[in-house]
């Protein structure tokens, strides 16, 4: 893997679809909205969540060759505008989202 200490903002697809629906109903024309959870997770934290859900321990090897020297360390969105204009906040937490993805792939 590359850098597992970078921080990213993850949003469940069901929350995104709900946000788009609310934007169609209540969003202000011509405005730009961040559909983001507003919460950041290190990639390493996501790995731990997955390990716990699957009841496994993964052996993680960091490959310095694929690490980006100019990597943006943290990308977390500000969802205050969509909250204010549309009343949207995500309802699915990261663990619920990951469980859903894992359950899907286990059944296929």
State the residue range of the domain holding 50. Answer: 7-107
Q: Is residue 73 part of a domain?
A: yes
% of the chain beyond a pLDDT of 90: 96
Q: Is residue 1 part of a domain?
A: no
| pLDDT surpasses 90 at 61 | yes
Closest CA to 14 of 99, 91, 74, 87: 91
Q: Is residue 21 part of a domain?
A: yes
Q: Is residue 2 part of a domain?
A: no
Per DSSP, the three-state class of 74 is strand
**28-66 b/e (C-beta count within 10 Å ≥ 16 → b):** eeeeebbbbbbebbeeeeeeebbeeeeeeeeeeeeeeee
The number of distinct structural domains making up the chain is 1
pTM of the model: 0.88
Any idea what the CATH number is for the domain that residue 66 is in?
3.40.50.720
């Amino acid at each position: 893997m590359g850098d597992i200490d970078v921080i990213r903002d993850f949003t469940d697809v069901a929350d995104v679809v709900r946000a788009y629906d609310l934007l169609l109903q209540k969003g202000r024309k011509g405005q730009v909205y961040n559909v983001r959870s507003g919460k950041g997770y290190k990639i390493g934290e996501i790995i731990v969540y997955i390990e716990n859900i699957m009841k496994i321990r993964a052996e993680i090897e960091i490959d310095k060759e694929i690490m980006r020297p100019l990597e943006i360390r943290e990308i977390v969105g500000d969802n205050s505008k969509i909250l204010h204009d549309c009343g949207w906040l995500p309802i699915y937490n990261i663990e619920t989202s990951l469980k859903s993805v894992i359950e899907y792939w286990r059944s296929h």
